[in-house]
Structure 1
Amino acid sequence: MPIDLPPVTRALLIANLAIFGLQQLIPDPMIMHFALWPLGTDLAGPDGTRVAFGIWQLVSYGFLHGGLPHLFFNMLALWMFGGAIERLFGSRPFATYYLACVVGAAVAQLIVVRYFTGGIYPTLGASGGGFGLLLAFGMMFPHQRLMLLFPPIPMPAWLFVTAYGAIELFLGVTGTQAGVAHFAHLGGMAAGFVIIQYWRGRLPLKPRRILMR
């Protein structure tokens, strides 16, 4: 993968790393105010500060992480796929796409928590954006070979993305991997799919930009 990353991908990597560093300094305020809290949340934080859902959390949660492994794998996805997609889309559309996937993942998570799982707990991480990039890579470069980590099996990108999405759906429906927002991941992929189809001119709305692949 190229080391010379385009500007938005590089800026996103730097922002995530910087905010993770800030989390280490003031962890409670960062989680209380900038993680994604379920709709209707009304709690008192450790210092008495009110904890509630805020509209800005639809984006801000995507720059917080629950630890170094969480940060590493999300940034690995951004590094692996972000550059190729930004060069194809252009920097401004890429930024729009990435943030829309983050928001789409947040909306999916809010719906699932409110109507299906319940509970009051924060969601955080760039996985929604990462899964949106994975979806875009599979659609734009379907025959590019990708390698699984465990086991190390190469496969075309379209198959990798399809299999990963199916696994996420299975894990989300069965609840066999607690503590992971599988439906947020799927929400990021769904948002990415809609945007790409819109840009390709395959939705009823008139596209502002059409991808020629």
Structure 2
Amino acid sequence: MGRLTEAVKHLLIINVILFFATNLYGEQMYQWLSLWFPKNDNFQWWQVISHMFMHGGLMHIVFNMYALWAFGTPLERVWGRNKFLFFYFSAGLGSALLHTGVNYYYIQEAYNGISGFISKEVFYEILNVDSQIGNQFVGQKFFENASKVLTTKGIDPSFLTLDFESVFEAHTSLKIPAVGASGAIYGILVAFAFMYSEAKLMLIFLPIPIKAKYFVPLLIAVDLIFGIGNVNTGVAHFAHIGGALIGFIMMWYWKRNQFNNNRWD
């Protein structure tokens, strides 16, 4: 890959610094900088950017930073620093938007099932209650704390049992933040596949060389299957898809208008 390009180098440095800072200051950093659902009590406007520099563990940041270096460096070398950064953050914002939009859809579906019993304001109030024991969200604790909120408002909480699974899933969707550069990285992968379609790539657990023009769509298809199937993998699959989608739209538009030939230094 040769010498590190400027934007990639600085993105790597910021990500690594914040990773070590998170390990020092823990939960406070996650509370401030992760991307929370807008109706979560922890949400702040800057999180749509700051979450791209947060990571959930060592392997998370290692894989993302490797991908940033391996696929981002050749793109920045062609595009220039400013164009690369514009693309990177656009993909990251698209990732945040789709992830939040899908969560909103599931939360709204849960509310529709009980909307005859409580207002939207009270619904979000009960979704914000604590239900964690250690790192696990516990249904019984959620029911107890939500019931307390409802009882203080003179509302019989028994209606929660009508579709408790959907309400509890809405609660966890609101309470689990998104972290990581993966959405922006997926945009970078799409751009790489556009520009270096014949380059051969491999997965660590599947060491078979596959051309980028097939490898990247395959990766996105896996995320789409897991996302639509609502498979609990601990991965924000629609965040990946959102980054890839914005990356595809931008590359399609740039290529169609010969914008790919312009550098922004």
- Alignment TM-score > 0.5, same fold: yes
Letter paired with 1:141: Y
Q: CA deviation at 1:36?
A: 0.2
1:113 aligns with 2:103: yes
Q: CA deviation at 1:148?
A: 2.4
98, 113, 127: which is aligned to 2:88? 98
- Counterpart of 1:31 in structure 2 is 30
- Counterpart of 1:40 in structure 2 is 39
Q: CA deviation at 1:177?
A: 4.1
Q: CA deviation at 1:175?
A: 2.5
Secondary structure of the residue that 1:153 maps to in structure 2?
strand
Instruction: Tell me how far apart the structure 2 counterparts of residues 40 and 142 of structure 1 sit (CA, whole Å).
Output: 41
Instruction: Note the residue ranges of structure 1 that are not aligned, 5 or more in a row.
Output: 43-50, 203-208
Identity %: 38
8 Å Cα contact 1:172/1:183 also seen in 2: yes
Instruction: Give the aligned CA root-mean-square deviation in angstroms.
Output: 1.6
Q: Deviations over 1:126-162 (max 9, x none)?
A: 1011111111101111111112222210011000011
- Counterpart of 2:212 in structure 1 is 157
Number of corresponding residues? 197
- Counterpart of 2:255 in structure 1 is 200
Instruction: Tell me how far apart the structure 1 counterparts of residues 241 and 198 of structure 2 sit (CA, whole Å).
Output: 22
Secondary structure of the residue that 2:210 maps to in structure 1?
strand
Secondary structure of the residue that 1:154 maps to in structure 2?
strand
Instruction: Note the residue ranges of structure 2 that are not aligned, 5 or more in a row.
Output: 108-169
- Counterpart of 1:78 in structure 2 is 68
Provide TM-score, normalisation by structure 1: 0.88
1:17 aligns with 2:10: no
8 Å Cα contact 1:82/1:133 also seen in 2: yes
- Counterpart of 1:148 in structure 2 is 203
Provide TM-score, normalisation by structure 2: 0.71
Secondary structure of the residue that 1:200 maps to in structure 2?
helix
Q: CA deviation at 1:194?
A: 1.6
1:64 aligns with 2:54: yes
Instruction: Tell me how far apart the structure 2 counterparts of residues 197 and 159 of structure 1 sit (CA, whole Å).
Output: 17
Letter paired with 1:106: A
Letter paired with 1:17: V
Larger Rg belongs to: 2
Instruction: Tell me how far apart the structure 1 counterparts of residues 203 and 232 of structure 2 sit (CA, whole Å).
Output: 19
- Counterpart of 1:211 in structure 2 is 260
Instruction: Tell me how far apart the structure 1 counterparts of residues 247 and 51 of structure 2 sit (CA, whole Å).
Output: 18
Greater RCO (Cα-Cα under 8 Å, separation 6 or more): 2
Instruction: Tell me how far apart the structure 2 counterparts of residues 87 and 134 of structure 1 sit (CA, whole Å).
Output: 15
Instruction: Tell me how far apart the structure 2 counterparts of residues 153 and 132 of structure 1 sit (CA, whole Å).
Output: 23
Instruction: Tell me how far apart the structure 1 counterparts of residues 63 and 90 of structure 2 sit (CA, whole Å).
Output: 20
